[in-house]
Structure 1
């Protein structure tokens, strides 16, 4: 669900020297034998993403005290405290969102064929006047902001007049973080007064402000009133994401999370997509009704989207979704050569993409 921010009590010091991201250190999880992402995102673009976080959120090794405070709150599941201060939100986003953003960028690249079917993106002169509308539930911590901008910066080379319109919904007050990251996505980085003319000429923003717009809405999605999803998800919304959010929602309340998915089913249009990324395998399980048995998140997700409506109606034609892509365990590994002021981590994840079917299609 939403991540939060905090306010540092440590006075600002000199900017920390950028250091190589450690990509050789073993990750928390052993990934031997598991699939890895294709790694098709250019290194230069990934470094640009990290630079945006660096410039917008000012990460520093001196944030360690605040980080420990945040970790303590998260360990105790005191999310109101963990995400209750402006500085906590800044430090959280500067520490955990950059590597997530790079992982999400690879995810978006991997699934773009489903979002833009039958489009010759490599063909000359391709253009599209229709904006792509995306809604990110639990997307306040900034990773989705930067990953969407970076992903669209590549595609916009072939769609020069198309725009990406994104809405980020989260329980915590991420307005400042979203605004800061968006600003650095659509404005060129600041250069030294001694920068050369060539450097100034080459200094361009990731995207123009006309090409990438975003807004933030603070909302507990488990407390959305009936039909309130329509205020965020329009008939022209193409993609709704739940990145490392759904399992937290299930952990909070299985019935409410199931109800949210039902609301998405009722609101989303034919051929729109629901993209779920979360922790893999047994790391995403929840207890039902306080019982001993635990259900994988994917089982609950498939049950609600693929089986429940048909079971209730007694008719397979009432199925509202089809699963078009699924992988229960993948890795995104940070490539060598990236620089960031503090250490980042690789990302292990499961990914599931669903397409909304036309009424009565039955798949």
Structure 2
């Protein structure tokens, strides 16, 4: 796994948790994506196309010795000097070129596995295309999505649906992706978006057939991206609320545990604000390192709670007056592997990804 990214600036404060954590379950059986016969793997050609997006977007950086930059970024992250680690464009570019490609492939497989949920019955509030009442635009908000992995993964997801006649007969015709992060990733995201929406470079000696097959991954008319620099724990929620209010899907991939580490109380407050803001029927997808724990101070005693338990405690608990919880859990996997195929090509070494996964649906009031 790559090093974590910052999600806030405050230190962890005293937080009160109302219930005791459940006894730890037996160690879950780990699932390995590409060895699971019950699921369909992303075509290797599409996986390579996604890797090529990063290779072409950061070609100049990858053609130089990137290792010194990566070591500098690692050093700053190890010292938790996040302002330094993400304070230069060259650091952000090196990070995105090194750690985002493999995550993009893993995230896209997650999105494809959850496709039926993402393309479920269109909610009343979804925006329809004026040209065809059956066409619907969906909006995804990626909290902590600055590194570009989710943007490329959603582009691959959208491309896969267009390739599949059966899936394309569904509701999704255009997709808007909003990226929110504490660091200013605009330069990286704009570079990736330009590469996603432009035909890849091709040899001047390429055949006519090769030129005809050399097309952009997505079109700007149907796939849009909007980056925002927001510290979601310290900034007034009124600045973030409007971005979430009409979202169909909200994601927090390798983000939530960083928020809990920064401040458990502020993170709980933030999740409750999200609950109040998003519309019924919307989905919340949380992915993070398995076995993540956060330290909580209760009556002067520090205890460790699993991230998963803290999340369920906040989202699924009953109201103070016995009201039903505002979320229902749709999918859960405590430990899963995404392993890179050996036949994929990339200029530098990439890593496999292990994660836990939780999908929630906002229920009606």
Q: TM-score, normalised by structure 1?
A: 0.84
Larger mean Cα displacement after TM superposition, 336-345 or 159-168: 159-168
Matches of 2:154 and 2:104, distance apart in 1: 9
Aligned twin of 1:140: 146
TM-fit CA distance, 1:39: 5.6
- Which of 40, 64, 67 lines up with 2:67 in the alignment? 64
> Cα–Cα, structure 1 residues 82 and 267, in superposed 2: closer, same or farther, change >3 Å?
same
User: Is the partner of 2:233 in helix, strand or coil?
Assistant: helix
> Cα–Cα, structure 1 residues 88 and 193, in superposed 2: closer, same or farther, change >3 Å?
same
1:243 is the counterpart of 2:249: no
Matches of 2:78 and 2:229, distance apart in 1: 23
After TM superposition, the structure 1 = structure 2 runs for residues 105-124 of structure 1, keeping only pairs within 5 Å, are 105-117=108-120
1:209 is the counterpart of 2:220: yes
Does the CA-based 8 Å contact 1:185-1:207 persist in structure 2? yes
Matches of 1:239 and 1:75, distance apart in 2: 32
Q: Deviations over 1:148-181 (max 9, x none)?
A: 0001111134438810001000000100111111
Aligned twin of 1:278: 288
Does the CA-based 8 Å contact 2:141-2:177 persist in structure 1? yes
TM-fit CA distance, 1:128: 4.4
After TM superposition, the structure 1 = structure 2 runs for residues 308-347 of structure 1, keeping only pairs within 5 Å, are 310-313=318-321, 315=322, 317-347=323-353
Matches of 1:337 and 1:264, distance apart in 2: 41
User: Is the partner of 1:339 in helix, strand or coil?
Assistant: coil
Does the CA-based 8 Å contact 1:2-1:140 persist in structure 2? no
- Which of 72, 78, 81 lines up with 2:81 in the alignment? 78
Matches of 2:104 and 2:234, distance apart in 1: 27
Does the CA-based 8 Å contact 1:272-1:355 persist in structure 2? yes
Matches of 1:213 and 1:136, distance apart in 2: 13
Does the CA-based 8 Å contact 1:326-1:352 persist in structure 2? yes
User: Is the partner of 2:66 in helix, strand or coil?
Assistant: helix
TM-fit CA distance, 1:196: 1.9
TM-fit CA distance, 1:60: 4.3
Does the CA-based 8 Å contact 2:28-2:334 persist in structure 1? no
Matches of 1:190 and 1:175, distance apart in 2: 23
Q: Deviations over 1:31-77 (max 9, x none)?
A: 99521124611111110000000000222461101111111111111
Larger mean Cα displacement after TM superposition, 64-73 or 154-163: 154-163
Aligned twin of 1:354: 360
Provide the aligned length of Structure 1 versus Structure 2.
Answer: 320
Matches of 1:86 and 1:128, distance apart in 2: 42
Larger mean Cα displacement after TM superposition, 152-161 or 165-174: 152-161
> Cα–Cα, structure 1 residues 3 and 87, in superposed 2: closer, same or farther, change >3 Å?
farther
Matches of 2:301 and 2:149, distance apart in 1: 35
Does the CA-based 8 Å contact 2:6-2:258 persist in structure 1? no
Which ranges of structure 2 fall in alignment gaps of 5 or more residues? 8-26, 34-38, 123-131
Aligned twin of 1:93: 96
Deviation beyond 4 Å, 4+ runs, structure 1: 1-4
> Cα–Cα, structure 1 residues 220 and 118, in superposed 2: closer, same or farther, change >3 Å?
closer
TM-fit CA distance, 1:145: 0.8
Does the CA-based 8 Å contact 1:3-1:92 persist in structure 2? no
Matches of 1:238 and 1:36, distance apart in 2: 28
TM-fit CA distance, 1:229: 2.7
User: Is the partner of 1:68 in helix, strand or coil?
Assistant: helix
TM-fit CA distance, 1:3: 6.5
TM-fit CA distance, 1:127: 9.4
